[in-house]
């Protein structure tokens, strides 16, 4: 199985729309490159030409260098000085560590939220879930994943733990790519929606133990199927 059979392929050139000239270029390049890598539009092993990226984004080499340095720090690219830069393989060990960290934090977060239910949060969560259902039905996995990210980000914001969300995101590139490989599996998107509904309901009804139970099951789904993912995409993973 290849990535192209599992999801729409987008080239960096198509995704690199004009940058906002009122903002610094490097952070924008970083965000767009990270999106391409995590979505697997740029799959593991893809070579990255700094000159080509500079042309595509319409910037000098400096923002490209800075963005690649940030991606290198997150382990999403490998930089070989004077030789090449490539998108890194998915490091299973780093994915497992990120999962451990995220689960530990989110179990406490959903408990906090369920102990003091907030109607506005529940409305926001249900809005996100409704959009996920639409994207799942349309097979629009990139937008589905964007809504998945928004669902969890909303939990951190509601618990006043924004800094922890930023920490998780900086560590999540490998586990997020595993999840992206797993998403096209039959029934996976529907299972994610179901889990989100159960988590939101437990928060809304003030049931912290239920919220934690459903969150634990939700976050563990991809790693439970790690062997299947490895079989389907052996060239993308490393131990």
Which residues lie closer than 8 Å to 91 by C-beta, 6 or more apart? 75, 174, 238, 239
pLDDT of residue 17: 57
pTM to 2 decimal places: 0.87
pLDDT of residue 12: 43
Of 217, 177, 224, 220, the residue nearest 7 (C-alpha): 177
Q: Burial, 163: exposed, middle or buried (Cβ in 10 Å; 0-12, 13-18, 19+)?
A: exposed
- Low-confidence spans in the chain with pLDDT less than 50: 1-16
pLDDT of residue 22: 73
| Residue with token string 């340095």 | 69
Domains of the chain: 3-88 (1.10.10.10), 91-238 (1.20.120.530)
Q: Which two tokens stand for residue 65?
A: 């260098």
User: Residue 187 CA to chain centroid, in angstroms?
Assistant: 19
Q: Is 214 helix (H, G, I), strand (E, B) or coil?
A: helix
> What's 196's DSSP letter?
H
Cross-strand partners of 84: 80
Radius of gyration of the chain (CA): 18
């Amino acid at each position: 199985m290849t990535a192209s059979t599992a999801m729409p392929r987008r080239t960096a050139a198509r995704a690199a729309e004009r940058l906002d000239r009122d903002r610094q270029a490097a952070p924008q390049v970083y965000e767009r490159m990270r999106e391409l890598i995590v979505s697997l539009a740029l799959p593991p092993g893809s070579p990255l030409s700094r000159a080509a990226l500079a042309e595509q984004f319409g910037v000098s080499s400096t923002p490209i260098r800075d963005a690649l340095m940030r991606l290198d720090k997150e382990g999403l690219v490998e930089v070989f000085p004077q030789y090449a830069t490539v998108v890194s393989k998915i490091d299973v060990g780093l994915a497992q560590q990120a999962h451990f960290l995220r689960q530990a934090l989110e179990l406490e977060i959903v408990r906090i939220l369920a102990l003091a239910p907030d109607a506005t949060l529940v409305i926001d969560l249900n809005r996100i879930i409704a959009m996920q259902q639409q994207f799942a039905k349309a097979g629009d996995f990139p937008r589905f994943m964007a809504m998945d990210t928004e669902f969890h980000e909303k939990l951190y914001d509601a618990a006043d733990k924004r800094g922890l969300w930023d920490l998780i995101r900086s560590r999540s590139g490998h586990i997020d790519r595993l999840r992206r490989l797993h998403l096209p599996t039959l029934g996976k998107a529907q299972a994610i929606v179901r889990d989100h509904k159960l988590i939101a309901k437990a928060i809304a009804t003030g049931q912290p133990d239920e919220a934690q139970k459903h969150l634990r099951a939700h976050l563990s789904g991809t790693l439970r199927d790690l062997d299947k993912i490895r079989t389907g995409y052996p060239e993308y993973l490393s131990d």
